[in-house]
Structure 1
């Protein structure tokens, strides 16, 4: 029997359709949590990110989870500890917990990727910082403001993510 519902009550199987995803703007980028902590009993999470050209978060490290980025579209440069690498569609990188890292989307084009983390909980951090997205794409005209910065700092502390330096800093120049 085929069901069109997102989840069933008789199984731990979850079906998440593209049209049913939550849409969040996190630092101007679209984040769609797909597989959440609740679905995996806290083991891992999976989210889709759609970033504007040139998007770059602060230099940071996760003290609670490993992150895996799988690039679907575009190009992203990563700096993690003493490694610098540029990924294209089909490439993947593992960023272990406790390793300072930052990434920057190519300034020429938007990028889309899957981010997985284990254990789960990263989607809760995204929600604590984000605002609901009004459309499914990067937020047009976004710029960091004081309110977003305060939410970011509070969520980073709550979810054990250390913000090391502002966007543009690289691990080898700040440690």
Structure 2
């Protein structure tokens, strides 16, 4: 696959309601020969994913605006604008929550691509500035998450697992 220069504007890309925030898929693995994907995450107060791990994915976050509380098995750390988090291959359990009173914005890169496909399966399309509620964790939703975890080689843990 031959890749050329591509310019993606600030309103390009699919935006999905995921984990209480808006995740805009800026660069999908479909366009990067599955080498990486880039996702912009707009996270309102209280938003953020549950604890999870993905052993075959290297994930990074750059905090563009606001701050999030990042949590791992080693503890919690508040990371503000300009901060950078890297989760290497291996499956470290991690999550983040916007514990502030204002919206946070993160730029997430995953290598190889694939995590954006998870977001497409669990998320719901939203318009700019709209925030979809976090879906209720019904038995059907649990089964869906378990299927996605198996399909994408990851594991999702309940909220509070790292406390």
Q: When the two structures are superposed, what TM-score results if normalisation uses the length of structure 1? A: 0.82
Structure 1 residues 73, 138: CA separation in 2 closer, same or farther (over 3 Å shift)? farther
Match of 1:152 among 139, 145, 151: 145
Deviation, 1:61, is 0.6
Q: Distance in 2 between matches of 1:155 and 1:131?
A: 15
Match of 1:27 among 19, 31, 42: 19
Q: Secondary structure of 1:18's partner?
A: coil
Kindly report the root-mean-square deviation, in angstroms, between the aligned alpha carbons of the 2 structures: 1.9
Q: Does structure 1 retain, via aligned residues, the 8 Å contact 2:20–2:48? A: no
Q: Does structure 2 retain, via aligned residues, the 8 Å contact 1:33–1:47? A: yes
Q: Deviations over 1:88-146 (max 9, x none)?
A: 0011010123111121112422211000011111111110111111x213515x13323
Q: When the two structures are superposed, what TM-score results if normalisation uses the length of structure 2? A: 0.87
Structure 1 residues 59, 31: CA separation in 2 closer, same or farther (over 3 Å shift)? same
The equivalent of 2:96 in structure 1 is 103
Deviation, 1:155, is 1.8
Deviation, 1:74, is 1.0
The equivalent of 1:6 in structure 2 is none
In the alignment of these two chains, the number of paired residues is 159
Structure 1 residues 152, 52: CA separation in 2 closer, same or farther (over 3 Å shift)? farther
Structure 2: tracts of 5 or more residues without a match:
none
Q: Secondary structure of 1:20's partner?
A: coil
Structure 1: tracts of 5 or more residues without a match:
1-9
Structure 1 residues 42, 143: CA separation in 2 closer, same or farther (over 3 Å shift)? closer
Q: Secondary structure of 1:15's partner?
A: coil
Deviation, 1:76, is 0.7
Q: Distance in 2 between matches of 1:143 and 1:157?
A: 22
Q: Does structure 1 retain, via aligned residues, the 8 Å contact 2:43–2:104? A: yes
Q: Deviations over 1:60-98 (max 9, x none)?
A: 111220110000111111122314321000110101231
Q: Deviations over 1:11-70 (max 9, x none)?
A: 522221222221111122101001111221111111100011011322111122011000
